[in-house]
Amino acid sequence: MKKTHIFALIIIAVAAGIIMSTAGDASTYVDFTQAEELALNGDNGSIHVVGKLKKDTHGQIVGLQYQPEVDPNYFAFTLLDNNNREQKVIYQSPKPQDFDKSEQVVVIGRMEKDHFAAEKILLKCPSKYENGELETTEFKAATL
């Protein structure tokens, strides 16, 4: 066997290893029901759940719980997943800054007994990067 061939084989092996590890480490988007099933089956990997904040009829967010004067590292809220299932989420860090303004919340973590323990929260806000959306247009009309 020529050196080139050995070299090529090694590269292919490393590339295959990379692909397998990517597949293995990749997380998945699920809803809370699936998350619960995964946890019941003993799957401890971190998962992504996409949802919206629960709001009352006046558009006020309900179920937020953050008392920095008691404990700055405890933040709990209620998230509705895409099937409208309600779930308490606990995030053991300060409340993300523009949390109240977010239109969509992605929580990353795992399901515990009665709540979802989030390690990371991604927010989709009507920020400068995503302007021109109709939802914010209405708000703009009032401030023009």
Report the C-alpha gap between 95 and 50 in whole angstroms.
18
Shortest separation between residue 84's beta carbon and another protein, angstroms? 18
Contacts 24+ apart (CB under 8 A), 113-116: 114/88, 115/76, 115/87, 115/88, 115/89, 115/90, 116/32, 116/35, 116/49, 116/79, 116/87, 116/88, 116/89, 116/90
Scan for tokens 């919340």, then name that residue.
Answer: 105
One residue of 32, 35, 41, 70 binding another protein per CB under 8 A? 70
Task: Map residues 97-136 to x or -, x wherever contact with another protein holds by CB under 8 A.
Answer: xxxxx--x-x-xx---------xx-xxxxxxxxxxxx---
The Cα–Cα gap between 48 and 34 comes to 11
Rounded least distance, CB 56 to another protein, Å: 20
d(CA 43, CA 35) in angstroms, rounded, equals 9
Q: Contacts with another protein in 1-60 (CB under 8 A)?
A: 2-4, 7, 11, 14-15, 18-19, 21-22, 25-30, 45-48, 50
Shortest gap between Cβ of 62 and another protein (angstroms)? 19
For binding to another protein (CB under 8 A), which residues are involved? 2-4, 7, 11, 14-15, 18-19, 21-22, 25-30, 45-48, 50, 68-74, 90, 92-95, 97-101, 104, 106, 108-109, 119-120, 122-133, 137, 140-141, 144
